[in-house]
Amino acid sequence: MTIVIQTALKQEAAPIISYFDLKKVVSEHAYPLYQNDNLFLAISGTGKLAAAGTLSFIVAKYCNQTPILINFGIAGGKYEIGTPFLISSISDHASMQREYPSFAYELPIDFAPLITVDQPETSLMAETLYDMEASGFFHAAKKLTTLEYIAILKVVSDQGVSHHSQIDKSQLQKHLAQAIHPLKQLINAIKDIQQPPFASQEEEIFLNRWHFTTCESHKLMHLLTRLQAIYPEEGFISYCLPLKSGKEVLNKLEKLLQEAEICL
């Protein structure tokens, strides 16, 4: 199971790199990328297009199953500095579109709505966070994985500044380091809801022995998976060995399925 964490700034990434002992991936990537086993961290730079582009690239290159995708970073808001929040809705200031992450777990982390802006915002509404990446991240992420595996975790860095250089760096480092604990909780919670795929182990043997069209091979997979659910200890190749064509094999498997009796 692959986990991709995306941050905009090196400062946001630093405590994650340190805690998870990530190593820089040396390649010709336009984005700094760090890795430890199946955990990736990409630093996209500021802005929603950068966030979406980085995420799409990393997932396309390194993930072959539905990955966990997390945007982690700082956000402005009229809350206590350093408080971590899970984002409950993301509004894109420019397009006026709103998106909703899906939470299939419980965590002791507060929720807040967030607005993604194109320019730093200095006059902030109450009970709302502001960032510059989340809407782009979410827009890309929802096309790359299941909604329940996507999350945005933000740490309140300021109550409205015109540039992130105005934020107290040492304080920021401290708050981001404190947010590692909720980040770990979040990763574990999402890992817990992921289910291992259930599939037949015999498909390859069938495909090598008989010819199946694309449509037939889908049907084969479907039939074998169902048969394996009913008879988990059994193999089905032996029932089909005398058969000559893929069609005959499919008919045989269908017959086995029709004759199956469930034991409770």
- Residues lying near other proteins in the complex (CB under 8 A) are found at 88-89, 100, 102-109, 111, 113, 142-143, 145-149, 193-195, 197-199, 222, 225-227, 229-230, 257, 260-264
88 or 178: CB nearest other proteins? 88
SS (H, E, C) 140-179: HHHHHCCHHHEEEEEEEEECCCCCHHHCCHHHHHHHHHHC
Q: What is the CA 76 to chain-centroid distance, rounded? A: 24
Handedness of CA 77, 82, 85, 90 (dihedral sign): positive
The single residue listed with the structure tokens 């934020």 is 167
Q: What is the CA 220 to chain-centroid distance, rounded? A: 30
Least distance in angstroms from the C-beta of 253 to other proteins: 12
Least distance in angstroms from the C-beta of 125 to other proteins: 14
Least distance in angstroms from the C-beta of 214 to other proteins: 17
Please answer whether residues 175 and 183 qualify as being in contact, where contact means their C-beta atoms are separated by less than 8 angstroms.
no
199 or 237: CB nearest other proteins? 199
Least distance in angstroms from the C-beta of 215 to other proteins: 14
Helix or strand (DSSP H, E) at 15: helix 10-19
Handedness of CA 9, 12, 15, 19 (dihedral sign): negative
37 or 110: CB nearest other proteins? 110
28 or 233: CB nearest other proteins? 233
81 or 107: CB nearest other proteins? 107
Please answer whether residues 114 and 123 qualify as being in contact, where contact means their C-beta atoms are separated by less than 8 angstroms.
no
Q: Which of 247, 253, 259, 179 is nearest to 215 (CA)?
A: 247
Residue type, 62: Y
Least distance in angstroms from the C-beta of 161 to other proteins: 27
Please answer whether residues 176 and 11 qualify as being in contact, where contact means their C-beta atoms are separated by less than 8 angstroms.
yes
Least distance in angstroms from the C-beta of 177 to other proteins: 23
125 or 230: CB nearest other proteins? 230
Please give the backbone phi and psi of residue 29, each rounded to the nearest 5 degrees, phi first.
-60, 145
176 or 190: CB nearest other proteins? 190
Least distance in angstroms from the C-beta of 189 to other proteins: 10
Handedness of CA 208, 214, 215, 221 (dihedral sign): positive
